[in-house]
Every structure is written in structure tokens, then in C-alpha cells.
């Protein structure tokens, strides 16, 4: 009779958090299974977009600045060793009004930690970044070492590396676990039992449906629309020579034309509640009209540019934007790793390292990531 395989850890979810967790656990010598219902970086996962910004600025939150610094190091190391093209060194430009506190605090934190950054007057902005119109903007903060990660490609590359190093990938969906004080196995849609000493659920916006009692009221998946507009004919100034950017005046972010997909714009304000499993992925006409108005405002030359592509994606928000990475409160060997809250991708290598560390017992848990710190009413503090 064949003996059932027993894993040290089964990681459910092969998005950015799951693949990096599986890789770090494997590198610590653990026998690891990695499961996903639809495949690493699939188009409905939060990690499945073309691009994600990586920047170090986080207002007063040194915690996330330090995480981003560590993650940047690990992303660059990974890209270098795997010879994958995963990072574009575009820099990140924060656009601010006089009254905006977050960018002022960001400048203070980055300066204190020695992270390269430049404060730019409106006149300097105009000279350095002629693609933009800075109407309504008083000053800017430029992070020269920040940039853009090729998200889907990166997740798939990390998953492939994890498998190459001995992680077993299983392309099946995990059914809702039967929770007790301990869980000995989980079951997939094919009836396969996955037996392990510990389980990590890194299931992004699917988490509230998997754990309705504990997470149903503590995670707030939201519908986020993203638009790609064509660039000016024969122009290269909207490519990676232009920085990624965020404007506090409109809660709006943008990414240059990467791999000829067009210039990308998205609202960072939370959209309506969203179910990643059942919801459709068509953007709204209202959203498109609003975005075109912003395109005209920031890039007058592109005001009438055709829409090239659009996507709908889920943010997996916690009450205040802090990650949720903790042991399940009712189950000693089940861990939750999620709550990326629209800013998690960049941190994934550091998150995976952290999850592996707390599971292996040699990393001190961060109180801000704890289940106990998660409220049932949203009041965003981390951006």
C-alpha cells in the first residue's frame, strides 16, 4: 500500500505571499506543498497584474519602510540569480499638496533611515518630468531607487524556483477546512488529502470565504479598476524613463508604459465590496469617464488617447491596511498570511521570510500583524 506523503508545511495560495512563503520554508529545509486552485499569478489573483510599484515611502510607518527595503534586496537578488527581467528602475514620484501630511511624514522617515529621496519644488518637477501637468500640485518627493515589478512574471518565476528547489506544487482547490484545536489534513476538490504539521492559508481576497467566522468581518475585499491608455504615437517619453507616481490630490497612481501595454492608471481609494471568485471583471463606464478626466489633467497630451486595456482586481483590505499574518485564533497549526491591503506585493519576499520565521519559531511576531489587532470597522491608515 502506498504511504501518504506528509509535509512539514502546506501553503495554500500561490500568489505573491504564498510563493515566497513556500520558497523560504523550503530553504529552511522544510518539506513543503504549495497549492493553488487556478495557478500562480492567475488573472483573478491580486498578484496577477502586469505591474506593481515598489517604493520605500510609508508615511510615519518605519515598519513598512524597513520591510520594503528588505524586500527590494530579496527581489533584486532573486532577479539577478534567476536572470529574469522582473524589475524596472523607474523611481517613484509622490505628488503632494501643501496640506498633505503623509508625504511630509514619508520624507522625514526616509531621511531618518538614510533612504535616498529628493524633495522637489513645483518648478523642479516641471523641469524633471515634462510628461506631467502639475496643476494643483505644490511639491513632489522622488524616490530614485524605487520602481516597478513585473508582477505576474515574478510570481510565476518564484513558484518555478520553489518547485526547482523541491517544493511540490499541486494545482487543486482546497475545500474549507474543518477547524479544531489542531488540523491534521486538508482536502482538495479532487478528494486528495494533504497531511501536514502546519498549514498556511495565503489566499488573498478568498480568505473571508474560507474562514467566514473569523475573517468574514475582518477582511474587506474591494473592487479596484485599472486602466491602460495608449501613449502618444511614436513617443518614448511615457516608457520606463518616466517614474511610477502617486498623487495625494486624487488618490491616484500611475505606472509608465511597460512592455508596450500603455500608461497605467488606477484609483487607490477603495471600491465596493468584491468577491474574487464570482464577480465579473468588466470596468464601469463611470470609472472610465472619471479616469479619462484624470488622464487629461495629468497628461494633457494623452487626453484623447484610446483605452488600450482595462482590468478589475481585488484589494484584500484589513481594517487599517496592516497585514494580517498570524496563527488562526482557534487552531494552533493553521496560519493566515494575507491582508495585503492594496500595497502588499512589493513586500512579498520579506513577508515570506517573516512567515517562515514565525512558523519555525525564531522570529518575533509583529503585534501590528496580529489577528487581535484587526478591527471590524475600516479606518485606513497605511497606504
Ligand X SMILES: Cc1cc2nc3c(=O)[nH]c(=O)nc-3n(C[C@H](O)[C@H](O)[C@H](O)COP(=O)(O)OP(=O)(O)OC[C@H]3O[C@@H](n4cnc5c(N)ncnc54)[C@H](O)[C@@H]3O)c2cc1C
Name the site residues for ligand X (rule: CB under 6 A).
12-18, 35-38, 42, 45-47, 49, 52-53, 173-174, 202-206, 210, 224, 226, 266, 313-316, 338, 340, 342-346
> The dihedral of CA 337, 343, 345, 351: what is its sign?
negative
* β-bridge mates for residue 225, sequence order: 312
Least distance in Å: CB of 198 to ligand X? 16
Q: Which three cell numbers stand for residue 382?
A: 497605511
Q: Which three cell numbers stand for residue 182?
A: 489542531
Closer to ligand X at the Cβ: 176 or 293?
A: 176
Q: How many residues does the chain have?
A: 383
Q: Which three cell numbers stand for residue 282?
A: 468588466
Closer to ligand X at the Cβ: 47 or 121?
A: 47
Least distance in Å: CB of 121 to ligand X? 26
Cα gap 322→166, rounded to integer Å: 32
Closer to ligand X at the Cβ: 121 or 275?
A: 275
Q: Collapsing DSSP states into helix, strand and coil, what is residue 14?
A: coil
Closer to ligand X at the Cβ: 281 or 301?
A: 281
Least distance in Å: CB of 305 to ligand X? 20
Closer to ligand X at the Cβ: 46 or 131?
A: 46
Closer to ligand X at the Cβ: 57 or 338?
A: 338
- Residue 286, classified by CB atoms within 10 Å of its CB into exposed (0-12), middle (13-18) or buried (19+), is exposed
Least distance in Å: CB of 123 to ligand X? 28
Least distance in Å: CB of 279 to ligand X? 12
Listing DSSP states for 243-298 in one string gives PEEEETTTTEEEE---TTS-EEEEE-S--SB--TTT---PPPHHHHHHHHHHHHHH
Least distance in Å: CB of 35 to ligand X? 5
Closer to ligand X at the Cβ: 195 or 232?
A: 195
| Region of residue 231 (phi > 0: left; psi between -120 and 50: alpha; otherwise: beta) | beta
Of the candidates 170, 196, 236, the one whose C-alpha atom is nearest the C-alpha of residue 36 is 170
Least distance in Å: CB of 92 to ligand X? 10
Cα gap 224→272, rounded to integer Å: 8
Amino acid at each position: 500500500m502506498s504511504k501518504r506523503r506528509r509535509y512539514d508545511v502546506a501553503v495554500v495560495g500561490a500568489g505573491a505571499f504564498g510563493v515566497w512563503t513556500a520558497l523560504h520554508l523550503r530553504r529552511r529545509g522544510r518539506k513543503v506543498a504549495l497549492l493553488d486552485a487556478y495557478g500562480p499569478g492567475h488573472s483573478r489573483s491580486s498578484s496577477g497584474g502586469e505591474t506593481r510599484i515598489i517604493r520605500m515611502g510609508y508615511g510615519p510607518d518605519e515598519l513598512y519602510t524597513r520591510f520594503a527595503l528588505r524586500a527590494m534586496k530579496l527581489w533584486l537578488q532573486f532577479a539577478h540569480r534567476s536572470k529574469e527581467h522582473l524589475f524596472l528602475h523607474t523611481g517613484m514620484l509622490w505628488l503632494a499638496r501643501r496640506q498633505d501630511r503623509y508625504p511630509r511624514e514619508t520624507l522625514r522617515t526616509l531621511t531618518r533611515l538614510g533612504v535616498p529621496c529628493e524633495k522637489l519644488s513645483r518648478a523642479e518637477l516641471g523641469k524633471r518630468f515634462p510628461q506631467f501637468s502639475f496643476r494643483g500640485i505644490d511639491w513632489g518627493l522622488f524616490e530614485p531607487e524605487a520602481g516597478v515589478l513585473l508582477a505576474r512574471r515574478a510570481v510565476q518565476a518564484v513558484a518555478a524556483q520553489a518547485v526547482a528547489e523541491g517544493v511540490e506544487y499541486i494545482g487543486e482547490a482546497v475545500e474549507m477546512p474543518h477547524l479544531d484545536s489542531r488540523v491534521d489534513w486538508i482536502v482538495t476538490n479532487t478528494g486528495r488529502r494533504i497531511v501536514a504539521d502546519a498549514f498556511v492559508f495565503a489566499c488573498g481576497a478568498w480568505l473571508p470565504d474560507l474562514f467566514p467566522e473569523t475573517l468574514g468581518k475582518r477582511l474587506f475585499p474591494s473592487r479596484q479598476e485599472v486602466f491602460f491608455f495608449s501613449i502618444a504615437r511614436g513617443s518614448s517619453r511615457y516608457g520606463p524613463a518616466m517614474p511610477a507616481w502617486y498623487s495625494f490630490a486624487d488618490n491616484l497612481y500611475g505606472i509608465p508604459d511597460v512592455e508596450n501595454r500603455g500608461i497605467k492608471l488606477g484609483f487607490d481609494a477603495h471600491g465596493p465590496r468584491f468577491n474574487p471568485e464570482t464577480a465579473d471583471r468588466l470596468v464601469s463606464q463611470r470609472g472610465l469617464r472619471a479616469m479619462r478626466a484624470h488622464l487629461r489633467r495629468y497628461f494633457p497630451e494623452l487626453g484623447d488617447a484610446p483605452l488600450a486595456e482595462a482590468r478589475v482586481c481585488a484589494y484584500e483590505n484589513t481594517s487599517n491596511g496592516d497585514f494580517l499574518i498570524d496563527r488562526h485564533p482557534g487552531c494552533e497549526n493553521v496560519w493566515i498570511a494575507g491582508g495585503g491591503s492594496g500595497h502588499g506585493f512589493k513586500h512579498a519576499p520579506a513577508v515570506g521570510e517573516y512567515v517562515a520565521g514565525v512558523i519555525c519559531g525564531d522570529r518575533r511576531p509583529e503585534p501590528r500583524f496580529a489577528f487581535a489587532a484587526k478591527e471590524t470597522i475600516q479606518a485606513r491608515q497605511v497606504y
